[in-house]
């Protein structure tokens, strides 16, 4: 009798090898071995894979936000460029006159700022501001150059360290250091002095030209504030200071008290300077300047490029 397909013999789901172990048991053993494999799973598509065989990794602790380091607004100079030395030579060998100085702190109180009114060699009055990026409103600086007026203020008026003098931008900490070490403002020196009109020792620097008094030069004419603070000033510098105050009360550059004595000096005061064709107030006549630019210390290459010849 034929066998029906439904009654035909079928192999058992569990096959045993010679050792008596079932194929199912071997499969489970192999599965456990695969699970014990610590190598990362193959992930060709770069999708995130969650490994359930390991403990949950500890959460990373977020680092406390650190204050960002202040960035200099212009590139730091590791050394003074060659062009700087020529401009510095002109700045320190041509006489300029400080007409006014105003120092304040920023609105946020981060650091001091100083603004200086300076009469240049032609008699034009320029405004120099010492801030994170020092500036001047002279034509040379407005073209993006480091002008001699800024250099004069940094080198002679504020006496900044050499390594900062040729920088074109300062950090907050550098500005604090500059003004902390700078000579006191003339009016601050006047407040510190006794108001008895007694002459002070001839030492330090003149508040107008910011050059040191030559104590060994007996021919150097020097006047002093007889009305109040007793501080010294070059006679020529005071005459020029008084000239720029025409129409106003002439005061001591130190203590701002009304100047007394030296009537001959006060008679030399002339009409206040007026804006010239360049738009600058010019006080050349008041300061005894010719009003012409002095090119004697300019670089020969610059002269040839500007005028086609050198002096």
Provide the pLDDT for residue 167: 97
Q: Are residues 162 and 300 in the same domain?
A: yes
Q: Are residues 108 and 120 in the same domain?
A: yes
267 or 68, which is more confident? 68
Contact (CB, 8 A) for 90 and 98? no
Q: Are residues 86 and 177 in the same domain?
A: yes
Please write the tens of the pLDDT for every residue from 223-250: 888 888 888 998 888 887 777 766 677 8
Could you give the number of structural domains in the chain?
2
Average pLDDT over residues 209-226: 80
**In this structure, is residue 32 part of a structural domain?**
no
Q: Are residues 188 and 266 in the same domain?
A: yes
Q: Which domain holds residue 206?
A: 184-270
Domain CATH for 202: 3.30.40.10
**In this structure, is residue 203 part of a structural domain?**
yes
Q: Structure pTM?
A: 0.62
Q: Are residues 112 and 250 in the same domain?
A: no
Q: Are residues 219 and 241 in the same domain?
A: yes
**In this structure, is residue 141 part of a structural domain?**
yes
Q: Are residues 130 and 260 in the same domain?
A: no
**In this structure, is residue 228 part of a structural domain?**
yes
Q: Are residues 193 and 261 in the same domain?
A: yes
**In this structure, is residue 117 part of a structural domain?**
yes
Please write the tens of the pLDDT for every residue from 20-56: 555 555 555 555 555 555 566 565 555 555 555 555 6
Q: Are residues 170 and 190 in the same domain?
A: no
Provide the pLDDT for residue 271: 42
Q: Are residues 167 and 230 in the same domain?
A: no
Per-residue pLDDT band for 94 (boundaries 50, 70, 90) equals confident
**In this structure, is residue 113 part of a structural domain?**
yes
DSSP, residue by residue, the chain: -PPPGGGS----SS-B-TTS-BHHHHHHHHHHHHHH--SPPP-TT------TTSPPPPPPPPPPPPPPPPPPSSPPPSS--HHHHHHHHHHHHS--EEEEEEEEE-TTSSSEEEEEEEE-TTSBEEEEEESSS-EE-SHHHHTT---HHHHHIIIIIS---HHHHT-S---HHHHHHHHHHSPPPHHHHHHHS-TT-PPPPS-SB-TTT-PBP-TT-TTS-EEE-TTTT--EEEHHHHHHHHHTTTTS--B-TTT-PBP-S-HHHHTT--PPP-B-TTSSBB-HHHHT--SS---TTS-HHHHHHHHSS--
**In this structure, is residue 122 part of a structural domain?**
yes
Q: Are residues 172 and 302 in the same domain?
A: yes
**In this structure, is residue 256 part of a structural domain?**
yes
Q: Are residues 114 and 99 in the same domain?
A: yes
Provide the pLDDT for residue 269: 43
Provide the pLDDT for residue 79: 96
Contact (CB, 8 A) for 273 and 282? yes
């Amino acid at each position: 009798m034929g066998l029906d397909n439904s009654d035909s013999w079928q192999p058992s789901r569990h096959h045993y090898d010679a050792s008596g172990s079932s194929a199912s048991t071997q499969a489970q053993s192999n599965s456990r071995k695969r699970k014990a494999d610590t190598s990362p799973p193959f992930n060709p598509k770069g999708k995130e894979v969650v490994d359930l065989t390991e403990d949950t990794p500890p959460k990373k602790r977020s680092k406390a936000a650190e204050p960002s380091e202040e960035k200099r607004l212009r590139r730091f100079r590791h050394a003074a460029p060659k062009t700087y030395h020529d401009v510095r030579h002109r700045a320190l060998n041509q006489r300029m006159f400080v007409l006014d100085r105003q120092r304040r702190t920023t609105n946020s109180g981060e650091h001091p700022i100083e603004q200086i009114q300076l009469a240049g060699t032609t008699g034009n009055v320029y405004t120099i501001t010492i801030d994170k990026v020092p500036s001047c409103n002279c034509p040379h600086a407005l073209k993006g150059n480091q002008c001699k007026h800024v250099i004069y203020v940094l080198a002679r008026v504020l006496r900044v360290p050499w390594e900062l003098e040729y920088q074109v931008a300062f950090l907050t900490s550098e500005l604090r250091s500059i003004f902390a070490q700078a000579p006191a403002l003339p009016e601050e020196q006047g407040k510190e002095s006794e108001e008895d009109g007694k002459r002070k020792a001839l030492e330090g620097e003149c508040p107008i030209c910011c050059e040191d008094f030559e104590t060994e030069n007996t021919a150097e004419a020097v006047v002093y504030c007889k009305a109040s603070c007793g501080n010294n000033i070059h006679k020529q510098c005071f005459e020029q200071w008084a000239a720029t105050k025409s129409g106003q009360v002439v005061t001591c550059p130190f203590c701002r008290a009304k100047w007394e004595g030296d009537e001959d000096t006060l008679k030399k005061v002339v009409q206040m300077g007026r804006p010239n064709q360049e738009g600058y107030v010019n006080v050349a006549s008041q300061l005894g300047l010719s009003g012409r630019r002095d090119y004697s210390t300019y670089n020969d290459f610059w002269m040839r490029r500007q005028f086609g010849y050198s002096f």
